[in-house]
Amino acid sequence: QSVLTQPPSASGTPGQRVTISCSGSSSNIGSNYVYWYQQLPGTAPKLLIYRNNQRPSGVPDRFSGSKSGTSASLAISGLRSEDEADYYCAAWDDSLSGHVFGTGTKVTVL
């Protein structure tokens, strides 16, 4: 039940800044924390951002998260080839009493 909407793809050249949007509603993003996960090809997801804009230790500061109202975004600055991956936003949904993930965005480094 993907109730969080993301663009299917995003791309940029090395060094550029890429932004991924995540649109939700008052029952999820509007009232709960947003998380972002990175999934490299063939691997398990990895937590990239927690509590809307916090980075776990080891995540480069090129990755940043923000939230406003019922939307959130992930920005990748100084794009690198190793950033090619699928990115998912997520949040708890009070109406569903469960976590919801975004539809996912595939980032390509040109």
Report which of 100, 94, 110, 108 is spatially closest to residue 22, judged by C-alpha positions.
100
Give the nearest distance from C-beta 84 to another protein in angstroms. 17
CB nearer to another protein: give 13 or 58.
58
Interface positions with another protein (CB under 8 A): 1-2, 32-33, 35, 37, 39, 44-47, 50-51, 56, 86, 88, 90, 92, 94, 96-104
- Of the pair 46, 62, the CB lying nearest another protein is at 46
Q: Of the two residues 19 and 50, which places its CB atom closer to another protein in the complex? A: 50
Q: Which two tokens stand for residue 52?
A: 């809307």
- Is residue 72 within 8 A of residue 22, CB to CB? The reply is yes
Numbers of helices and strands, H then E, in the chain:
0, 9
